[in-house]
Amino acid sequence: MEHWIENHFNQLRDLQLNAGITDGLANKISMANGVSDLVRKIRAMQEVHGRIIFIGNGGSAGICSHLANDFSKNGHIPAIAFSDAAALTCISNDFGYEYVFAKQIEFHARKGDILVAISSSGQSPNIIKAVNAARALELLVITYSGFSSNNALRHLGDINFYIESSDYGLVEVSHLALAHMVLDYIIETNTKEKIKHTDNLTLA
């Protein structure tokens, strides 16, 4: 059992540190550059009073709700997850489940927002349609996917995070960790900047 546990967490660590990150032209970029670019995009979004929209199915939907709460409460970054039960069932009934996120984007999103699309397989039709809807409104798109390296979602974002595994648990935990890392970095750097600003005022 101890050996299994050690292997499990080593595998998680390796998957996260070796996540495949690409830009909108499918060029490989380093973890540091990918995270730095995403942080810049989020800060630019805040300047125009945009918000982050999270979408995902099943376990990924849970991750989206978690992230939306933490970005809003702890990061003071406007964020929402399109997971309201009434909205999902209404749109499913009227348009089909493949439009549950695309229609909400049409209804609520605006230029300056960022869409974060999370899908373990990267093949969910409703996620792909949502990305297309976001593109039509000129939103920036960030994707998190796994399973096949050629999954559709991985090629659709401005920044794409990919976990090379077909295990749902490993992919989902890695997605949450990678996305939360971005928030943690923003919180930490904002705190340091506030301290530095306060120290400068005191010295003045």
Return the closest-CA partner of residue 134 out of 148, 153, 120.
Answer: 153
Give me the phi and psi of 172, to 5 degrees please: -65, -45
What pTM was estimated for this model as a whole?
A: 0.94
Q: Copy the structure tokens of residue 182.
A: 């971005």
Distance CA 15, CA 64 (A): 20
Element holding 37 (H helix, E strand): helix 31-47
26: helix, strand or coil:
coil
One pLDDT digit (tens) per residue for the chain, 204 residues: 999 999 999 999 999 999 999 999 999 999 999 999 999 999 999 999 999 999 999 999 999 999 999 999 999 999 999 999 999 999 999 999 999 999 999 999 999 999 999 999 999 999 999 999 999 999 999 999 999 999 999 999 999 999 999 999 999 999 999 999 999 999 999 988 777 656 665 655
Q: Copy the structure tokens of residue 82.
A: 């399109």
Domains and CATH numbers, the chain: 2-203 (3.40.50.10490)
